């Protein structure tokens, strides 16, 4: 009887094990819940934390990446000064202090002059044209080449569209009114202002209001009505001029540390690229919409004096712009290579837009 009882118990235990216990290592691996690695990145920016448009774009990017990756890639965004100063984003990402950055390429002209062509060029490409050059006109390949020595991979990170000409505390009736003017204006636009007799000053956005208020600068450009209203620039300057000849299509950039990107699985690399493309499109749509409403508020509520630059001022600035571009291109081989591509695309798309976008807008007006 004892022997029979042992046999029955053994059979019951074996049956239970067959139903509930894994049969071997392979079966155990199949039944175990999948383990996923969570990768955490830092993204530093040149903008105040959550600043409208510019500052919220990298936040949107981080949210998209987290959602599309089901939390496998999580990116923490740092505003200007939180981890690194606003104008040290390039170095921080290049050196691996942060895996990503969000800024404007013209801030890095001291690193490589050719970088300036990938934000905005005076009398250059509009936002639509800039996207065309980058995505289908060879611009991305050149941009990759410019940034490769710095261990960086660049991607478009939004566009503000045509900007405003800037805030001034005195009228601009002629080119002579620009002489001696201390103006916050970066990149190639700053070099053009210098040729006109002004003094360009490079400042991060967070320092503009105080500098204008205290008289450290006499004038400033920033972005357009949406962002300028948020900074309260109407409180410290009287005249608001247009158009932004210096920044007709200012493209922001995501910079990615190449080693960090290479370490990602292929699907996460694709997610990063797709999220950047989505944010690039989203920013232009947002600025196009928010700018029109903000301009109405500046004019009707704050009684800002909105004025066009005189034609002769624009003609002079265009002439000076062409001189600056030719000299920048002649200074080093990489700049010459980028400018040749940029200029060829600009000339061809301008000819096409005379019978398409420009012709239609003229007809509508």
pLDDT over 50 at 210, yes or no: yes
Are 122 and 189 in contact by the 8 Å Cβ rule? The answer is yes
pLDDT over 70 at 231, yes or no: yes
pLDDT value of position 58: 98
Give the pLDDT band of residue 23 (cuts 50, 70, 90): very low
pLDDT digits (tens, 9 = 90+) for 150-203: 999 999 999 999 999 999 999 999 999 999 999 999 999 999 999 999 999 999
pLDDT digits (tens, 9 = 90+) for 309-340: 999 999 999 999 999 999 999 999 999 999 99
pLDDT value of position 20: 42
Kindly calculate the radius of gyration of the chain based on its CA atoms and give it in whole angstroms: 27
For residues 317 and 198, give the distance between their C-alpha atoms in angstroms, rounded to a whole number.
Answer: 12
For residues 315 and 362, give the distance between their C-alpha atoms in angstroms, rounded to a whole number.
Answer: 20
SS3 for the chain, per residue?
CHHHHHHHHHHHHHHHHHHHCCCCHHHHHHHCCCCCCCEEEEEEECCCCCCCCCCHHHHHHHHHHHHHCCCCEEEEEECCCCCCCHHHHHHHHHHCCCCEEEECHHHHCCCCHHHHHHCCCCCCCCHHHHHHHHHHCCHHHHHHHHHHHHCEEEEEEEECCCCCCEEECCCCCCHHHHCCCEEECCHHHHHHHHHCCCEEECCCHHHHHHHHHHCCCCEECCCCHHHHHHHCHHHCCCEEEECCCCCCCCEEEEEEEHHHHHCCCHHHHHHHHHHHHHHHHHHHHHHHHHHHHHHHHHHHCCCCEEEECCHHHHHHHHHHHHHHHHHHHHHCHHHHHHHHHHHHHHHHHHHHHCCCHHHHHHHHC
pLDDT value of position 36: 75
Q: Is the preceding peptide bond at 243 cis, omega within 30 degrees of 0?
A: yes
Are 134 and 272 in contact by the 8 Å Cβ rule? The answer is no
pLDDT over 60 at 81, yes or no: yes
Are 17 and 117 in contact by the 8 Å Cβ rule? The answer is no
Average model confidence (pLDDT) across the chain: 92
pLDDT over 50 at 289, yes or no: yes
pLDDT value of position 217: 97
For residues 323 and 317, give the distance between their C-alpha atoms in angstroms, rounded to a whole number.
Answer: 10
pLDDT over 60 at 18, yes or no: no
pLDDT over 80 at 3, yes or no: no
Tokens of 204: 């991060």
User: Minimal CA–CA distance to 220: which of 283, 266, 149, 169?
Assistant: 169
pLDDT value of position 29: 42
**Mean pLDDT on 132-142:** 98
pLDDT over 60 at 234, yes or no: yes
Q: For CA atoms 297, 125, 190, 79, give the dihedral sign.
A: positive
For residues 282 and 61, give the distance between their C-alpha atoms in angstroms, rounded to a whole number.
Answer: 10
User: Domains, the chain, ranges and CATH?
Assistant: 39-159+249-289 (3.40.190.170)
The answer, as to whether pTM is greater than 0.75, is yes
Are 54 and 86 in contact by the 8 Å Cβ rule? The answer is no
Share of the chain above pLDDT 70, in %: 90
For residues 141 and 60, give the distance between their C-alpha atoms in angstroms, rounded to a whole number.
Answer: 26
Give the pLDDT band of residue 15 (cuts 50, 70, 90): very low
Are 102 and 162 in contact by the 8 Å Cβ rule? The answer is no
pLDDT over 50 at 2, yes or no: no
**Mean pLDDT on 98-112:** 97
pLDDT over 50 at 1, yes or no: no
């Amino acid at each position: 009887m004892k022997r029979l009882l042992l046999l029955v118990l053994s059979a019951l235990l074996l049956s239970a094990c067959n139903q509930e216990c894994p049969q071997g290592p392979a079966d155990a691996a199949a039944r175990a819940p999948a383990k996923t690695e969570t990768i955490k990145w830092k993204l530093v920016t040149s903008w105040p934390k959550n600043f409208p448009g510019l500052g919220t774009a990298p936040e949107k990017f981080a949210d998209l990446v987290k959602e599309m990756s089901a939390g496998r890639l999580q990116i923490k965004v740092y505003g200007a000064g939180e981890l690194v100063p606003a104008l040290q984003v390039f170095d921080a990402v290049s050196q691996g202090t942060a895996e990503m950055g969000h800024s404007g390429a013209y801030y890095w002209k001291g690193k490589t002059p050719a970088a300036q062509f990938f934000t905005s060029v005076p009398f250059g490409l509009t936002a639509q044209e800039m996207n065309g050059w980058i995505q289908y006109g060879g611009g991305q390949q050149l941009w990759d080449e410019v940034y490769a020595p710095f261990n960086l991979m660049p991607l478009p990170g939004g566009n503000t569209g045509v900007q405003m000409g800037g805030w001034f505390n005195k009228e601009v009736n002629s080119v002579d009114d620009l002489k001696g003017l201390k103006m916050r204006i970066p990149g190639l636009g700053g070099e053009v202002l210098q040729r006109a007799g002004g003094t360009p000053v490079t400042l991060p956005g967070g320092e503009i209001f105080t500098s204008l208020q205290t008289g450290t600068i006499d004038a400033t450009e920033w972005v357009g009505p949406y962002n300028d209203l948020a900074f309260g620039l109407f409180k410290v300057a009287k005249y608001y001029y247009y158009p932004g000849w210096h920044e007709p299509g200012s493209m922001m950039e995501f910079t990615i540390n190449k080693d960090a990107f290479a370490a990602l699985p292929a699907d996460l690399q694709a997610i990063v690229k797709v999220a950047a493309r989505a944010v690039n499109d989203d920013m232009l749509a947002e600025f196009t919409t928010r700018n029109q409403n903000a301009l109405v508020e500046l004019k009707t509520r704050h009684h800002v004096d909105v004025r066009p630059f005189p034609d002769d001022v624009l003609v002079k600035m265009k002439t000076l712009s062409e001189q600056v571009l030719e000299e920048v291109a002649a200074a080093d081989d990489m700049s010459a290579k980028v400018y040749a591509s940029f200029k060829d695309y600009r000339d061809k798309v301008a000819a096409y837009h005379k019978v398409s976008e420009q012709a239609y807008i003229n007809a509508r007006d």
